[in-house]
Amino acid sequence: MSTPPNRIAPAARNAASQRDAQKGFVYLPLIAGWLVPGAGHFLLRRWGRGALLAASILGMFALGLAMQGKLYTSGHEILDILSFVGDLCNGLPYIVSRALGLGAEQVQVTTADWGSRFIVVAGLLNVIAAVDAHNLRTGRKQG
Amino acid sequence: MHPSHFFAVLLFALCVSVVFGITMRETPRRMVRYGAYCFVLFVGAAIVLSWVMFLIAR
């Protein structure tokens, strides 16, 4: 005699949901979320959260560019290298902006310095959002 | 675009708080509360530190 579905023990149900969560390519939301801010959550059908994350991260990136922030390419100093890594975390927005020649070559006004920080922080926030999408995908985070 | 320092702080705090709220909590109600908490802390810390620097510089 089989057990009715509503009689399944919570532990067994959790194990089953964990197995379901591991099906497919679990890193897709992580990679999509890195390339396009909010895309990881869109893939998981978290439309509202994805839209808010995309608006915040892309908005911050755009504000940084509007403030004449610098897009780091590479550097020899440790702060330049770290800023470049932070910029790269933005994914496609960084690559497209570089290709279009956006962003200042050098920081010449105070607001441009803030703009550079906005762009770097947008990249770091994008990594947090992408990891959050990955955690939702694997079932490590509920909600 | 040349915002004032305080307006830049507000923009920064808003964007970061939204992301922190969504990623650090699990239910919508707790996300909003945590996001608001982060926003207040960001802006409050900026105001307090600004006054400290102003008083030190005098």
Tell me whether residues B16 and A143 touch, CB distance under 8 A. no
Instruction: Please tell me which of the candidates B1, B8, B19 has its beta carbon nearest to residue A125.
Output: B19
- And the tokens for A129? 């959002």
As to burial, measured by CB atoms within 10 angstroms (0-12 exposed, 13-18 middle, 19+ buried), residue A22 is exposed
Tell me whether residues B12 and A121 touch, CB distance under 8 A. yes
Whether A48 shows a pLDDT value over 60: the answer reads yes
Rounded to an integer, the average pLDDT of B36-45 is 98
Whether A11 shows a pLDDT value over 90: the answer reads no
Whether A22 shows a pLDDT value over 90: the answer reads no
pTM over cut 0.80: yes
Query: What's residue A1's pLDDT?
Result: 45
Rounded to an integer, the average pLDDT of B29-39 is 97
Query: What's residue A7's pLDDT?
Result: 53
- Is the separation of the CB atoms in A67 and A114 below 8 Å? yes
Q: What is the DSSP letter of A2?
A: P
- Report chain A residues touching chain B, CB-CB < 8 A: 49, 52-53, 55-57, 59-60, 63, 66-68, 109, 111, 114, 118, 121-122, 125, 128-129, 131-132, 141-143
Whether A5 shows a pLDDT value over 60: the answer reads no
Nearest in space to A127 (alpha carbons), one of A90, A102, A95:
A90
For residues A20 and B24, which has the higher predicted lDDT (pLDDT)?
B24
Query: What's residue A16's pLDDT?
Result: 56
Whether B18 shows a pLDDT value over 90: the answer reads yes
Nearest in space to B42 (alpha carbons), one of B21, B26, B57, B28:
B21
Instruction: Please tell me which of the candidates B8, B20, B26 has its beta carbon nearest to residue A114.
Output: B8
Interface test with B, best of A44, A52, A53, A56 (most B CBs within 10 A): A56
CA–CA min distance B29, chain A (Å): 11
